[in-house]
Amino acid sequence: MTRVCLIGAPDVNLRYELLSRETARAALSTYDLREPFENCVAVDTVSVGAAVSLMNDLNWYLVRYVDGALVLEPSVSADEWLSRKLATEIRDGDVTPRETGGLLKVYGVADGRLVEPMFVTRVDDSIPDYDLRDVEETVVVRVTEDEFGAGR
C-alpha cells in the first residue's frame, strides 16, 4: 500500500475543509481517512500512480489548505516519504527510486504535530540530527533538487 499524507496549513482544520466540500468529499469517499499527526489527513492507495492521481484530483484544495503533500511508497523506502513532486517524477519515470534520498526535508514531531522542517543532505548514508527544537521523533521526506533549493 502507498500512503498519502496531507499536512494542513496552520490556520485551517484540514479534515473539515476537505470533508465539507462536495468534490473533495467525493474524491475521498472510498478511502479510510486517518490522522497520523495533528491536522494531517492520510489515506492508503494501491500505488504511486493512484496516490499522485488522488492528489491531482484534490489539487484545488491542496493549493488552498495544505502545507505539504507526502507519499510513502514501500518499494522506494519503508520509512522515508516522498514529496508530491518527487512521487510524480517517479511515477512518470523521470527519476528512479535509486536516484532519490540524497536531498531531504526533515520534519520534527512535537506533541503529535509536524513542526518546522529542516533541509539536509544525506552524507555517507546518515542524516544530520534535527536541531531546530526538541522533538520526540522526525519524519524524513525525500525531495527534488528544485524543492531542496527553494527551501534554503
Sequence-distant contacts of 91-95: CB under 8 A, at least 24 apart? 91/48, 91/49, 91/52
Place of cell 522526525: 138
For the chain, domain boundaries: 2-151
Residues 30-56 pLDDT 10s? 999 999 999 999 999 999 999 999 999
Distance CA 79, CA 72 (A): 7
In this prediction the pTM is: 0.94
Distance CA 3, CA 56 (A): 15
Q: How many residues does the chain have?
A: 152
Residues 131-141 pLDDT 10s? 999 999 999 99
Residues 68-101 pLDDT 10s? 999 999 999 999 999 999 999 999 999 999 999 9
Give pLDDT, residue 151. 62
Distance of CA 103 to the CA centre of its chain: 14
Per-residue 3-state assignment (H helix, E strand, C coil) for the chain: CEEEEEEECCCCCHHHHHHCCHHHHHHHCCCCCECCCCCEEEEEECCHHHHHHHHHHCHHHHHHHEEEEEEECCCCCCCCEEEHHHHHHHHCCCCCHHHCCCEEEEEEEECCEEEEEEEEECECCECCCCCCCCCCEEEEEECCHHHHHHHC
Give pLDDT, residue 19. 97
Give pLDDT, residue 149. 80
pLDDT confidence tier of residue 152, bands split at 50, 70 and 90: low
116-139 mean pLDDT: 95
Give pLDDT, residue 18. 97
